[in-house]
Amino acid sequence: MRRVLITSGGGAKGAFTVGALSHMFDNNTANFDLISGTSTGSLIAAFAAAGDIDTLKDVYTNVTDNDIIATTNLVRQLQQGNPYLLDSYPLVKLINEKVTDAVYQKIMAGNTTLCLTAVSLQTGIPTIFATKNITVPPGYQLKLIQNIQQLKNAMLASSSQGGFLPPVSIDGQQMIDGGHRTVIPTAAAIAQNPDEVVVLSNNPRNIFPGNPNYTSVIDTILRVISIFIQGVRENDYKLLDDYIARSQKKVFYIEPDTDLDEQNPTGLRFDRFLMTLWRSQGEQKARQILAAGGNPGGV
């Protein structure tokens, strides 16, 4: 039986995914033929492929905003023509520290194919960075990961939210967060014709209700971002739902019942208390959904 795991974007809300994975590791159900991750899900996917749940639990409990992003002088950024508002050098440092040669070797020597999605600013085409050859879904391109630096670059690119964080230069293109095209990276997973799919989403299926009246520019922008993300997410779900309905394969949708952080749709708030809470919620939801046996043949 071919099993695949999909890990979604969501920034700090990735703690929910880590909680779900903790339950699966504890119950020996975290063995997958392929893991497809986007954004924060790409960071999680890499360590899940390495079988390193302890690092994930540590990171998604103890990091703060300062461990992921650095503030900048916005006026200077605009004057200098930099294409980002915040800096990601803390995240670069974290990736360099955690993605050791041993972690890389475990990923490359393992039976799990790791797929991380980023998007080219130049072409708008999503790229799947994979550790092994895969069937490439329509509209995507494939780049094979062949050394540790390529893995780190793919993880960083997939996590670099366009406009907020610096794009990552890869093969002459500026790569940004895969979540701009696929928040729940289903295409790479279902292109392999899996028998069972486990979806770990850090957001509920439906968008939360908005305010009765928007008068703040910031609140309006954040709401627009939420609406945009929801549109991408719905396309991802439709792709997967259609596959499940057509193939009658089994799927487990593990997602929160409500939005974990309504005020931060980008997920760029790394609060230790909240991440601990979200991890617990993810663990509980995974226990509930897996015990129920999933959804054979559709939702």
Helix, coil or strand: residue 69: coil
User: Which residues, 6+ apart, have CB-to-CB distance to 201 below 8 Å?
Assistant: 8, 10, 184, 233, 253, 254, 255, 256
pLDDT on residue 75: 67
Q: Establish whether 171 is a catalytic residue.
A: no
pLDDT on residue 295: 64
Query: What mean pLDDT is predicted for residues 130-139?
Result: 96
Distance of CA 27 to the CA centre of its chain: 23
Beta bridge partners of 130: 115, 144
Q: Establish whether 39 is a catalytic residue.
A: yes
pLDDT on residue 297: 41
**Is 86's pLDDT higher than 60?**
yes
**Is 93's pLDDT higher than 80?**
yes
Query: What mean pLDDT is predicted for residues 229-250?
Result: 94
User: Residues for the chain: how many in total?
Assistant: 299
Query: What mean pLDDT is predicted for residues 112-119?
Result: 98
- Catalytic pick from 177, 236, 259, 261? 177
Backbone phi and psi for residue 282, each to the nearest 5 degrees, phi listed first: -65, -40
- Catalytic pick from 8, 22, 36, 39? 39
**Is 299's pLDDT higher than 50?**
no
- Tens digits of residue pLDDT in 45-59: 999 999 999 999 999
| 50, two tokens | 């390495």
Query: What mean pLDDT is predicted for residues 262-288?
Result: 93
Please state the pTM of the whole predicted model.
Answer: 0.94
pLDDT on residue 76: 77
Q: What is the mean pLDDT of the chain?
A: 93
Taking a C-beta distance cutoff of 8 angstroms, is the pair 236, 183 a contact? yes
